[in-house]
Structure 1
Amino acid sequence: MGKKNPYDFTIIITVALLVTTGIIMVFSSSFSYAMVVLGDGYYFLKRILIWTVIGSSAMVFCAKMKYWKWPRYANILLLVSIILMILVLTPIGTEINFAKRWIFVGPITIMPSEIAKFAAIIFVSTSVTRKKEKIQSFFHGVVPYLLLAGVFFGLIYAQPDFSTAFVVVVVIISMIFVGGMKLSHFIGLSVAGLAGLSSMIAYIFISGKGYKAKRITAFLDPWADPTDSGFQAVQSLLALGSGGLFGRGLGRSVQKHFYLPEPQNDFIFAIIGEELGFLGGVAVILLFMVLIWRGIRIAINAPDLLSCLMATGITTMVIVQVVINIAVATSSMPVTGMPLPFISFGGNALVIFMASMGILLNISKYTNMNRS
């Protein structure tokens, strides 16, 4: 390994600012709901603080653990994630709002799809590094990862959770592309994937069956049915629009008072826009852009293929989730459940993202950031 460098201070500061923003906005957006429904206005605040401590510990642990030791645990992480994704579909899993995405073990909630993202990054980066001479072969180098992506997609989609399944597939494809997949194979897969996605959306829309069809219809014209299928999109847009340039002020959101569903989770960006205004929303986006920029620089200048692929997978995961969450909040795509990294309420997601940042920090210690 090369000479050690200090941890990337920019990543540390950016993550700290994002997590702090998340704590403040989770408390602000959830207080009314927690007080009326749960009888404790501090319910979500107390839990996000506990998960922040756990996530910070995971980040420190992963930052100190040398990145080249992760391949030792790649197979077990993959096996555990697949077993958990199967178990969540059995009676062991808990169904909430017509989705089975959680396993409750006493006071602890396990979300297998979040663990799957982390396991996919570790396993694929390890596997591609070990068989890099085969990656340019479609059948021997690409197909096995497509099958793996198919298994992840199928198990997560069955929960159902299309957005997370999509994230995992994009992360895997991005990693094998950076790992040396032929450009022609990448273009072919991209075209086939877009065609398949477009066909699926068209079928859902034409059939007009189920909540997915309503979400597509609501995306095309949320004001056509503002009290039912378009309710979330309309309330999110009202929140963003009413915030103006400077916002109503921290804690003064109107939409969080039982108008906007999941204000502390999937639509927390809308509350940020309402309370902190356009400038607050832009500030959050700029923080993510800084984090993504550092992740890309670390991936480009990484000391070896393993660290490059890990940094690529982690950065891609952040990019895709940020884009989807903000796109949903601004009604730029159909409503889907996707938390905003480091900010939305969700313990499993916060721990996984902070642990991933720890790996990125460890890689930064062996990366010469002054190289072009």
Structure 2
Amino acid sequence: MQAHHSAGIQPGIAWRGTPAGARPVRAPRPRGGGAGSRPPGRGTVWGGLQTLVRRARKAWDRPLTAYYLLLGGSLLLTALGLVMVYSASQIKALQSGLAPTYFFRKQLLAAAIGSVLLLVAARTPVRILRALAYPLLACSTVLLVLVQVPGIGETINGNTNWISLGGPFQAQPSEFAKLALVLWGSDLLARKQSKKLLNQWKHLLVPLVPVTFVLLGLIMLGGDMGTTVVLTTVLLGLLWVAGAPTRLFSGVFGVTVALAALFIKTSANRMSRLACIGATDPGPNDQCWQAVHGIYALANGGWFGAGLGASVEKWGELPEPHTDFIFAITGEELGLAGTLSVLALFAALGYAGIRVAGRTEEPFVRYAAGAVTTWITAQAVVNIGAVLGLLPIAGVPLPLFSYGGSALLPAMFAIGLLIAFARDEPGARAALAMRQPGVRWKTMRRRVKKRPSGER
């Protein structure tokens, strides 16, 4: 240091070149005045928020974001649904002379089977899924026909949509018809796109729309208007993702709305449900009892709920507390915080499904991902809208959440499809491969070029 000072080196001056031919270059001073000043934006609340937003956006754009949202969101919804089924169904089971854990044990068994189906769907190649489309559609159609055969079909809550499997187990074929329509419709549109036929309106509609209307007719024979609405949204979702012209899409939508209005108008039960939208009083003959007590349950919950198991409405006041109106019990026991968490999980599933459908180049994957996302989100909207009094009570369960194995199994298989599609994205495949033991180091070694000997 003394030698440098004697040579005339001054603090704050950098030196370039060799000492013999060095020339001084003054180092730039920090902006803003003092030596300890920080760049603008740093050290402030606004700068910290900007940093958080940049990091969140970077994490959101990672290749595995959709994969983790689908896997984590579906598992969280299923787990929370099991907790709420256990809490909401105890009184109902005791009133029926059953063990308090009766409905919970059945739902837990369905969730275990559904988890296996989810893993199977997540590992099944696309070609096998496409091969299953026609057999699954045929089996679903036959089962829907058998439901209407006296002695085979069972009537529950006024709807004939069930087939007894022996003992306490029943199956609802209309739930499996949703999955069948997703796979068959996606395969049909993908094959027509490969032949460049989707630019003709007749190939967009035939046979997709007639076959769907056959399924809708069989379901409506049993009186299940809610499943009919959900299946219709799946059809509209397929046409939308396929790029149907606005005029054609509007025509199909208008026909379905007209048919729905006809079915509602010709049924006194459906008209009474329509009249209960926004009701705050049970009305004559207590026709709006369920809708009003669903609002009461949500109001009793407040911000953070009365506590798990502390619901009052499940003590015989609110019908179907563990199925169609489990969202109301969730609001009463977990409060607004709990219901917003459920909504956030469904929003995450919807975003992830749209992202998968938008980033793939495989037509079948795009159609199937769009149809599954439409199915899950539309059914959630119909169920939650009915609980909030914004839509008529349609009698559809909350996907992955409400009690019912017939609804849970195909829904978990459908989520497995989305997970498989998310894993199959090029960026996701590379990211998952890098996480395997030994792959990262070998990949890095291949990228390093050999340098001349002696160079560091």
State the TM-score, normalizing by the size of structure 1: 0.92
Name the aligned partner's letter for residue 22 of structure 1: G
* Alignment partners' CA distance in 1, 2:190 and 2:122: 21
On the 8 A contact 1:303/1:367 being kept in 2, the answer is no
Shift of 1:35: 1.9
**1:71 corresponds to:** 130
Q: 2:157 aligns with which of 81, 97, 100?
A: 97
1:227-246 aligned within 5 A = 228-246=286-304
Q: Deviations over 1:133-181 (max 9, x none)?
A: 2223222331422211211110111111111112112102211321232
**1:313 corresponds to:** 371
* Alignment partners' CA distance in 2, 1:304 and 1:349: 28
Aligned length: 362
Name the aligned partner's letter for residue 360 of structure 1: L
* Alignment partners' CA distance in 2, 1:160 and 1:216: 15
On the 8 A contact 2:66/2:356 being kept in 1, the answer is no
**1:273 corresponds to:** 331
1:61-140 aligned within 5 A = 61-91=120-150, 92-107=152-167, 108-132=169-193, 133-140=196-203
Q: Deviations over 1:253-303 (max 9, x none)?
A: 000001000000000000001001111101110011011111110010123
On the 8 A contact 1:246/1:277 being kept in 2, the answer is yes
Q: 2:76 aligns with which of 10, 13, 17?
A: 17
Cα gap change, 1:369/1:117 in structure 2, threshold over 3 Å: closer, same or farther?
farther
Moved more, 80-89 or 187-196: 187-196
Name the aligned partner's letter for residue 189 of structure 2: V
**2:359 corresponds to:** 301
* Alignment partners' CA distance in 1, 2:282 and 2:113: 44
* Alignment partners' CA distance in 2, 1:277 and 1:198: 35
* Alignment partners' CA distance in 1, 2:185 and 2:293: 40
* Alignment partners' CA distance in 2, 1:121 and 1:222: 38
Q: Identity over aligned residues, as a percent?
A: 33
Moved more, 246-255 or 135-144: 135-144
SS in 2 for 1:113: helix
**2:443 corresponds to:** none
Shift of 1:339: 0.2
* Alignment partners' CA distance in 1, 2:102 and 2:85: 10
On the 8 A contact 1:301/1:369 being kept in 2, the answer is no
Name the aligned partner's letter for residue 10 of structure 1: L
**2:252 corresponds to:** 189
On the 8 A contact 1:142/1:181 being kept in 2, the answer is no
Shift of 1:328: 0.5
**2:451 corresponds to:** none
**2:28 corresponds to:** none
Cα gap change, 1:71/1:242 in structure 2, threshold over 3 Å: closer, same or farther?
same
1:43-58 aligned within 5 A = 43-58=102-117
On the 8 A contact 1:233/1:335 being kept in 2, the answer is yes
Q: Deviations over 1:211-267 (max 9, x none)?
A: 112212222645151752110011101001111111111110000001000000000
On the 8 A contact 2:279/2:292 being kept in 1, the answer is no
Q: 2:91 aligns with which of 32, 39, 43?
A: 32
Please identify the structure whose Cα radius of gyration is greater: 2
Which one has a larger percent helix, Structure 1 or Structure 2?
1
Q: Is residue 2:234 matched to residue 1:171?
A: yes
* Alignment partners' CA distance in 1, 2:65 and 2:342: 26
Shift of 1:52: 0.8
* Structure 2, unpaired ranges of 5+: 1-62, 429-456
State the TM-score, normalizing by the size of structure 2: 0.76
1:314-333 aligned within 5 A = 314-333=372-391
Cα gap change, 1:7/1:196 in structure 2, threshold over 3 Å: closer, same or farther?
closer
**1:350 corresponds to:** 408
On the 8 A contact 1:128/1:176 being kept in 2, the answer is no
* Alignment partners' CA distance in 1, 2:213 and 2:298: 37
Cα gap change, 1:177/1:369 in structure 2, threshold over 3 Å: closer, same or farther?
farther
* Structure 1, unpaired ranges of 5+: none
On the 8 A contact 1:303/1:366 being kept in 2, the answer is no
Name the aligned partner's letter for residue 352 of structure 1: P
**1:259 corresponds to:** 317
* Alignment partners' CA distance in 1, 2:187 and 2:202: 19
On the 8 A contact 1:163/1:338 being kept in 2, the answer is yes
Q: Is residue 2:212 matched to residue 1:153?
A: no
Q: Which has the higher contact order (CA 8 A, sep 6+)?
A: 1
Shift of 1:72: 1.1
SS in 1 for 2:74: helix
Query: CA-atom RMSD, angstroms?
Result: 2.0
Moved more, 97-106 or 222-231: 222-231
Moved more, 333-342 or 32-41: 32-41
